[in-house]
Amino acid sequence: MNKVGGYNIEDLQPGMSASVSKTVTEADIILFAGVSTDINPAHLDEEYAKGTQFGGRIAHGMLSASFISAVLANKLPGAGTIYLGQTLKFKAPVRIGETVTATVTVREVVVAKKRCILDAVCTVAGKTVIEGESTMYCTSEKD
């Protein structure tokens, strides 16, 4: 572990995994709209959203994707690591009141470059809503 409680690159092994879960609330959507300035009516206006293919309001995709960032920053590889890249594929909407579970799993560790690649997935009630790949720059015990 590094000085701030995250994993050093030397500590990581393929297959290691960590998760966080969060129930999306009305307040989360309003606050995310304010911070991101994404005020798409699909997220904020029920009357408008009823006429969309979703039949009602949905959470911002990036709000749900931010739970991946929470796992990476807080659990695996954890504090002290730096985000280098993220790919995302949005598979299904998330609605107010649903619990999103974000899970990352170490796929590859490149000790010489202090990088790790992790598979990332968000699910709601076992159904995949987002999938992607995260690339992180990690601390080293040699630093």
Q: Per residue in 70-102, pLDDT tens? A: 999 999 999 999 999 999 999 999 999 999 999
Supply the pLDDT for residue 143.
82
115-133 pLDDT per residue, tens: 999 999 999 999 999 999 9
Which tokens is 130 given?
Answer: 């987002």
pTM greater than the 0.85 cutoff: yes
Domain annotation for the chain: domains and CATH numbers = 9-23+60-137 (3.10.129.10)
Q: Which residues contact 128 (CB under 8 A, 6 or more apart)?
A: 91, 92, 121, 122
